[in-house]
């Protein structure tokens, strides 16, 4: 049986309070999550084409990608939040800039570039006569060319400046052509010799050295050459995968298991931080960003790795119940979730 860690209510409160003293650098690609709500009762057949258009009656937007990590860190009330990213000089970048400024988030290191575009996930949502809503395939804005040498140099300088002030660096490495270039990964690996660097990367986790990586169970298996897509393994089997990746990396590994919790895989073996699965309806979009944010903040606040996982599980449990948005979790909401799950 795997060793398990469970927090007490007092411990949750202590971690949430300690986070308020943390200084954190967050680096990655900020994108815009844009929702267009179309009322199909208002649609009329087009005269020019054999299609019913989508009459948009409402739109909303929030920062996505690394922007969601930034939002979640901000919601936890840290002492200092130092985001590093690059956005384009376009309407999507304008909306993100305005959002961060309106919410009191430092944008000094969210750099502007005329070379690329601001990533965006546009999500058309259809509504009709019934209460059922239906999300169409996304429309994605994404860069398909790497950032240029000038932008890369600016990112490295911004990262160095933020790291000099921070207790921890949280990395959201999701795009193939984005802020996190090979040179930036190398700089983060170097910084990891001096401070905790926690990396969430779908495809590039093995290109770092010295960092704490946070894959899900499938990503962890692929990182050691196994494909477990479609398989359901036991917690012990997932722990074996995580420990194999830990030996390969030489640093602790976090393996998230969705509704089952998360594993802390260190040199001494694995510890499971279980969770209570949320009852439907749930929306898991952005839950990984919440987990990364809460884990990085709790770890920087002095919580041991497994305890930081348990705290992050609670935070994700808050946001999966926020339907139709990525969502954030405050310390008060995390404490409330603990009481709901364990009181």
pLDDT in tens, 257-309: 998 999 999 999 999 999 998 888 888 888 999 999 999 999 999 999 999 99
Distance, CA of 159 to CA of 155 (rounded, Å):
6
Tokens 């990891």 belong to residue: 192
**In angstroms, what CA-CA distances link 131 with 41, 95, 123, 280?**
12, 30, 18, 16
234 or 324: whose pLDDT is higher?
Answer: 234
Per the document, the length of the chain is 343
Q: Tell me the pairing of strands 133-135 and 120-127.
A: antiparallel
Structure token pair of residue 128: 């009709």
The DSSP secondary-structure symbol of 275 reads: -
Distance, CA of 82 to CA of 95 (rounded, Å):
19
User: 287-300 and 9-19 helices cross at what angle (nearest 10)?
Assistant: 80
Q: What domains lie within the chain, and their CATH numbers?
A: 3-31+77-119+146-342 (3.40.1190.20)
Distance, CA of 122 to CA of 190 (rounded, Å):
36
pTM attached to this predicted model: 0.94
pLDDT of 75-93, one tens digit each? 999 999 999 999 999 999 9
Q: Quickly list H helices, the chain.
A: 9-19, 66-75, 91-102, 149-163, 182-191, 217-223, 235-249, 287-300, 305-319, 331-342
Q: Which of 259, 323, 248, 266 is nearest to 291 (CA)?
A: 259
Per-residue model confidence (pLDDT) at position 180: 97
Cβ burial, residue 122 (10 Å; 0-12/13-18/19+): middle
How many Cα atoms sit within 13 Å of 19 on the Cβ side? 28
Distance, CA of 252 to CA of 218 (rounded, Å):
17
Percent of the chain exceeding pLDDT 90 equals 90
Tokens 């933020």 belong to residue: 162
Check pLDDT > 80 for residue 324: no
Per-residue model confidence (pLDDT) at position 285: 83
pLDDT of 18-55, one tens digit each? 999 999 999 999 999 999 999 999 999 999 999 999 99
């Amino acid at each position: 049986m795997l060793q398990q860690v469970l927090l007490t209510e007092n411990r949750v409160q202590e971690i949430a309070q300690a986070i308020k003293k943390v200084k954190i650098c967050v680096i990655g690609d900020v994108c815009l999550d844009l929702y267009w709500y179309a009322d199909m009762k208002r649609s009329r057949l087009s005269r020019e084409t054999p299609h019913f258009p989508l009459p948009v009656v409402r739109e909303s937007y929030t920062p996505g990608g690394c922007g969601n990590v930034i939002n979640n860190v901000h919601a936890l009330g840290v002492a200092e939040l130092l985001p590093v990213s690059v956005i384009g000089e376009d309407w999507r970048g304008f909306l993100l800039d305005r959002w961060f400024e309106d919410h009191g988030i430092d944008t000094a290191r969210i750099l502007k570039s005329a070379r690329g575009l601001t990533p965006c996930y546009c999500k058309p949502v259809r509504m009709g006569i019934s209460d059922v809503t239906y999300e169409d395939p996304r429309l994605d804005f994404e860069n398909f060319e790497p950032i240029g040498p000038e932008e890369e140099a600016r990112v490295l300088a911004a990262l160095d400046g933020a790291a000099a002030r921070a207790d921890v660096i949280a990395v959201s490495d999701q795009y193939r052509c984005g802020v996190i270039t090979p040179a930036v990964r190398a700089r983060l690996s170097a910084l990891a010799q001096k401070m905790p660097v926690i990396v969430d990367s779908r495809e590039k986790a093995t290109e770092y050295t010295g960092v704490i990586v946070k894959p899900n169970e499938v990503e962890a298996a692929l990182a050691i050459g196994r494909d477990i897509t479609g398989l359901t393994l036991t917690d012990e089997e997932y722990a074996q995968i995580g420990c194999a990746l830990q030996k390969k990396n030489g640093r602790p590994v976090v393996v998230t298991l969705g509704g089952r919790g998360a594993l802390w895989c260190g040199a001494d073996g694995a510890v499971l931080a279980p969770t209570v699965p949320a009852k439907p309806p749930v929306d898991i979009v952005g839950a990984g960003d919440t987990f990364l944010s809460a884990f990085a903040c709790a770890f920087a606040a002095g919580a041991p790795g497994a305890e930081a996982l348990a705290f992050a599980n609670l935070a994700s449990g808050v946001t999966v119940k926020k339907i139709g948005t990525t969502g954030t979790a405050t310390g008060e909401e995390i404490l409330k979730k603990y009481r709901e799950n364990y009181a």
